[in-house]
Chain A
């Protein structure tokens, strides 16, 4: 504080002009702009992009239609209806499965509370965020677009292009990793992350148990 006032006294004559030095100095700094469509900034690992509904590696859906995601959603953008699994051809390894699953991306605030609430890690987020549409109804993602295909690919309303990089759908899940049981010290040596058809079994992050160790089998990330 004393230093600042002292500087103010000595600079009182040139004070109004000291701003010119600031703007002049900044002319020689590197611009902070990223040339967006051409150059994309690297996204943080736990980026909140669009959602996907995961499957187990054997092709079973993880969603059990419990509607916890819909209940916790502060934007009320998720609509889920569960149904009983058919006895002869079960969709998920439980009693029930997500029969209807819709997310209104115009309402979604990408808070990832649904991801946190999900008891089976069925809903997770990816790095894909370029979801512009020309029709409002296209912004409502249905089960078809959310659910991971059994080969790990995801249906997306827009085709791959200069803006939409469908590989981003393979990235993400950072939030779940942060809160997964394997993040706790007491789970030392246990990677409790459930493998999925999309990303396989994710390696643990730095600081998590199992971090900085050879990645588990089927790892697709990094």
Chain B
């Protein structure tokens, strides 16, 4: 394969990934408002387009044409850079997520991910840590007290739950034997029950801890202290308006999509599912399975938001450090024993 072919393939994949993310965010914001509305016996946005699906587009255009106000006390360079710093890691995480089974077209192996890093898990964790910078810098550079409070909360919360997030993935890596996301999905394929593979959801404690930490990482309810409207206005993005605010908003929802997609990759067998039909269906079905599973996880995100009230700050910290991290450490030990037994047999046999 020549360099040009690689370049063109990568370029196409990047554009497609970008488009998928933007469309996903459009639908995500609308779906969240609709789902939460239905859960509260309301109707939700239903005016723009069919079922109100174009509502996000309308909101986005409104934000785009609105004035981006700059308060007098901001640190301008950082203030401008923070929304970009929020968006870039969010976009980059998606690049390593395999959204479909690798296929062979015209003698070439096509993978449904932009690139398959052999350290994919570390890459994902590193980039989701970078998101803390955007929040912290945005809050600090705004030169205003509520954004600062929000960013202080954010840095503490995101760093605390980062640990649990990473620890929850250790058993997954141990069982899969690889840190490549494609490899982890591949390890979950198989034919138990005819089609289902050994999905990592059987590592239930890991799954639960990962989901909880994912809520905290994406600043979603019940961990949305970072932007607790009732206490600190908008949190770190209080002083942002117009398009700069739209970037934060975009990054937030891309992060939700990423976290849901990662949950599917790590625990729900990725694109795995029953395959049948002609060859084109073999390509479409895995993508469909992946998106369906992701939508299901996202629904859980919405469901939690509609159900649980916001945690108190000390509860948040106590839950992270005193519950999640010890539980995940114990669970790692148990998983180590299980993996060791599977590999070397029982010590007395």
A and B physically associate: yes
Chain A residues within 8 Å of B37, by CB: 31
State the CA gap A32–B41 with chains docked (Å).
Answer: 6
Chain B residue nearest to A18 in the complex (CB): B307
Inter-chain contact A23/B42, CB cutoff 8 Å? no
State the CA gap A43–B189 with chains docked (Å).
Answer: 61
B306 CB contact (under 8 Å) in A23, A31, A32, A33: A23
Inter-chain contact A27/B39, CB cutoff 8 Å? yes
A33 CB contact (under 8 Å) in B43, B303, B307: B43
Most buried by A among B37, B40, B42: B40
Chain B residues within 8 Å of A23, by CB: 39, 303, 306-307
B41 CB contact (under 8 Å) in A19, A20, A30: A30
Chain A residues within 8 Å of B41, by CB: 26, 29-33
Chain A residue nearest to B309 in the complex (CB): A19
Inter-chain contact B303/A32, CB cutoff 8 Å? no
Most buried by A among B35, B304, B307: B307
B337 to A: closest C-beta gap in Å = 27
B109 to A: closest C-beta gap in Å = 43
Q: Does A22 lie at the interface of the complex (its beta carbon under 8 Å from any beta carbon of B)?
A: yes
Chain B residue nearest to A35 in the complex (CB): B43
State the CA gap A177–B35 with chains docked (Å).
Answer: 46
A76 to B: closest C-beta gap in Å = 36
A19 to B: closest C-beta gap in Å = 5
State the CA gap A19–B39 with chains docked (Å).
Answer: 12
State the CA gap A29–B308 with chains docked (Å).
Answer: 20
Inter-chain contact A26/B40, CB cutoff 8 Å? yes
B5 to A: closest C-beta gap in Å = 49
Q: Does B38 lie at the interface of the complex (its beta carbon under 8 Å from any beta carbon of A)?
A: yes
Number of B residues, CB within 8 Å of A = 13
Chain A residues within 8 Å of B35, by CB: 27
Chain B residues within 8 Å of A32, by CB: 41-42
CB contacts under 8 Å to B, within A22-64, are 22-24, 26-27, 29-33, 35
State the CA gap A23–B42 with chains docked (Å).
Answer: 12
State the CA gap A33–B34 with chains docked (Å).
Answer: 13
Inter-chain contact B307/A22, CB cutoff 8 Å? yes
Chain A residues within 8 Å of B307, by CB: 19-20, 22-23
State the CA gap A29–B43 with chains docked (Å).
Answer: 11
Chain B residues within 8 Å of A27, by CB: 35, 38-39
Chain A residues within 8 Å of B38, by CB: 26-27, 31
CB contacts under 8 Å to A, within B1-60, are 35, 37-43
Chain B residue nearest to A32 in the complex (CB): B41
State the CA gap A31–B35 with chains docked (Å).
Answer: 12
Chain B residues within 8 Å of A30, by CB: 41
State the CA gap A24–B42 with chains docked (Å).
Answer: 14
Chain A residues within 8 Å of B39, by CB: 23-24, 26-27
Chain B residues within 8 Å of A22, by CB: 307
The contact sample of 21 A-B pairs, CB cut-off 8 A, is A19-B308, A20-B303, A20-B304, A23-B39, A23-B303, A23-B306, A23-B307, A24-B303, A26-B38, A26-B39, A27-B35, A27-B39, A29-B41, A30-B41, A31-B38, A31-B41, A31-B43, A32-B41, A32-B42, A33-B42, A35-B43
Question: Interface of B with A (CB < 8 Å)?
Answer: 35, 37-43, 303-304, 306-308
Question: Interface of A with B (CB < 8 Å)?
Answer: 19-20, 22-24, 26-27, 29-33, 35
In the complex, besides A26-B38, A27-B38, 16 extra interface pairs with C-beta distance below 8 angstroms are A19-B308, A20-B304, A23-B39, A23-B303, A23-B306, A26-B39, A26-B40, A26-B41, A30-B41, A31-B37, A31-B38, A31-B41, A31-B43, A32-B41, A32-B42, A33-B42
